Amino acid sequence: MPIEVFVADEQSARPVDCPRWAALAHGALVASHVRGDAELSVLFVDEEAITALNERFLGHEGPTDVLSFPIEDDPAPSGRAPDGGGSGPGWEPVDEDDLPTLLGDVVICPDVAWRNAPEHAGTYEDEIALLLVHGILHLLGMDHEVEAEAEAMEAREQELLAALHRTPDPGGSPP
């Protein structure tokens, strides 16, 4: 299994082109040297959902535009194996080298992106692209808590967007 990107649109306020954003996410992962079997989930949610996530996990009030939830390197045990440890007929131990790398989830609120776009990235599509790449870079370990990290992250966002994202021509002519 190669890199897999799962995209779900769980809101109805703004249009979301799931295949387009899946392709951008996949390209960003490949360009960021993610190799082997890896999985990423991208969820587009309404303001109520992102507000609840923002408050629950970050302790911040109100909606935000994007949240990233990395999967921890050493997940907690998921429970005991049935029948005393998995020694029944047909049971085989799991080879952890065969499991995909679960990168995590990027959660985006299109309504907030729509409002922020004119003063931030320009168009709604450019804003969604920026938020998606930003969220992926967080999953890959980049941050913007200190100025040097913020500059490096912004530069990488711009590199990826320049290489992978083009706003469709409203006139319909091919790029």
Average pLDDT on 77-92 reads: 42
* pLDDT value at residue 170: 53
* pLDDT value at residue 169: 52
Q: 3-73+101-164: what fold?
A: Collagenase (Catalytic Domain) (3.40.390)
Per-residue model confidence as pLDDT tens digits over 43-53: 999 999 999 99
Q: Which residue do the tokens 């808590």 mark?
A: 145
* pLDDT value at residue 67: 96
Quick check: 96 pLDDT over 50? no
CB 160 within 8 A of CB 126: no
Quick check: 25 pLDDT over 50? yes
E strands along the chain, which residues? 3-9, 38-44, 66-70, 101-108
Give the start-to-end residue ranges of the domains of the chain.
3-73+101-164
Mean pLDDT, the chain, as a whole number?
83
* pLDDT value at residue 95: 46
* pLDDT value at residue 85: 45
E strands along 45-143, which residues? 66-70, 101-108
